Structure 1
Amino acid sequence: MSAGPAAARRGDGPPPRRRVTLGNRLRRDWPLLVMVLPAITLLLVFAYVPMLGNVIAWQAYSPYVGILESPWVGWANFQRVFATPSFWEAVGNTLTITAFQLVFYFPVPIALALLLNSVLSPAIRTTIQSIVYLPHFFSWVLVVTIFQQILGGAGLLNRLLVQNGFGGLDIMTNPDTFLLLITSQQIWKDAGWGMIIFLAALSTIDPTHYEAAAVDGAGPWKRIWHITLPALRPTIILLLILRLGDALTVGFEQLLLQRGAVGPGTAEVLDTYVYYQGVLNGDWSYAAAAGLLKGVVSLGLVLGANKLAHMVGEAGVYKREER
């Protein structure tokens, strides 16, 4: 039998939740709100206010007359986007690079975190972590330059091959190896950053779980499979959702720097396509329409991946409202 109102009054049941009004929350949290106000202001000025300029996707925009005076053309720019073969070529390159890096780059930080977490010496672990994390602070100009000095036509690898009687090999200008090249650059630069995130998740695992599993006879691989990976699953799913949401934005600066070496047929992605069409060619309205389509698809990928996360019992980017 359920306890009635009388039992609740006697204190047998849980106390009723007290609803905090908006005014009380503002008075309580005003120091925190003041602290985040500069960040919110920057976000509004540099992220949300410029979104109003997307209206030029429905105009024949000219910077000489401005948004208010540019004529409206309706959905004509979007029709041009769908009818342009070069746009679909950029979409294909973007999806190919994203899928390739999702398979060959995304697991690398997880593997590095598992390996580094198994190192018993804190000094060695800290040293390795610092070395692997350091390239994250390098600009893409520096990263591409380093790879050029090693793998380029006049690079170290090519000189060693020629000196030993082998043919020359210029990986930096070979379209057939471009996917491997940019993925290796991505791994070298950013795998250390992802590793730190997973190391933070690993630090939350209770060591007694490993001790109990070892007592029960579980080996290292079974402990990883039944303890470590389930503990990492929420973090893996969250980062995977964010990665899918960013799927159509793949290394603008990285690819822009190397586009001329392998050609637009291999290195042209949506971001570089919008840049060349809008900024360099001056077709602002067409570029805005292409950028808006990219944003809509990215939003759909985030919502779809988040829905899948809810279906497997994870919170995802945001939690479902419990009914």
Structure 2
Amino acid sequence: MSFNWKQLTLFLSTAVALVLCCMILWPFLSAVVGAITLAVVTYRPYCWLENRVKHPTLAAALGVLTVTVSIITPAFFLVQELIRQALSGVNMLRAGQPQHRLMELLGRHPTIATRLENTASQIDLGQASQRTASYVASHLAGLLGNTLGALTQLVVMVVILFFLYRDHELATTSLRAYLPLDAAETDLLLDHVDDTIYATALGRVAVAAVQGIVAGLAFWILGVDSAALWGLVTALVAIIPAVGAGLVWIPVAVVLGLTGHWIKAGVLVAWGTFVVSTIDNLLYPVLVGSRLRQHTVMVFLSVIGAIVLFGVPGLILGPVILTVCEALLKIWAKQRGTVST
């Protein structure tokens, strides 16, 4: 068989074009992932709106307006405010206020002070905390000062979301046409991706947000400093599978107990055990059901690895990439006749 230079040239040209397209879209990765996630999660409400408005462009505009007012805008200002609170807390750390409180605490509890004496003698806590605070402050200040970049991402995300709403049938048809799979295999792949995005965004992220709000409310009522910030940290930790919100509220309860607020510590333990940590078990099955079929360990590794590789979009991209690999392996196995799907 003679070597086909035309086919090789076409293949190489296509590969180069795809790489260039990825490079062009890379700066807007967060916007693209956010738009696709919002489109998948809000697909059913949008279909309800589209069936009543009848005009695709008007329906898409109303859908984008609703999402912007109810989700995007509040989330943007909330994140900005939480970053400001984090900077305030870091400045307190740099000023040495927590060190003074720690010394007062150890003075009231000599037993704890004795146990920590050997460890503390090996570490300059003040210098270490100030260095850590300086590092965190520089990054938080960059996030707060990069408002223009965040607004650009939001604008791009809204534009993409509009066209996903208006032209979703065209987008689906085009994607099916370019995938080198038959109809059944394409359905399998797209259904798996759709279920994973839905389960990750509406299930994992939404439930974690509720846990963060409930925990933050408890922190505020109990008088914990920077309650909103710790609520955000709780939500972020709760997103990651196999970690859980207890990684935040348990240490807070311990600190409350060590500082003499035993009643507050007991209330927080009860609230965290029976409310914050229970929300995940109650809401997640209701919102997700059996859509996410991946093992917890694999989801955990995919989320952590994707966050390291892609940043915040990795929360969605990690499970999606894992799902795509799993679906493609099933398709290969089916074609070889080793398994049935």
Q: Please tell me whether Structure 1 or Structure 2 has the larger radius of gyration of its CA atoms.
A: 1
Structure with the largest fraction of helix: 2
Shorter-chain TM band: under 0.3
> Which TM-score applies when normalising by structure 2?
0.24
Higher-RCO chain (CA-CA 8 Å, sequence separation at least 6): 1
TM-score (norm 1): 0.25
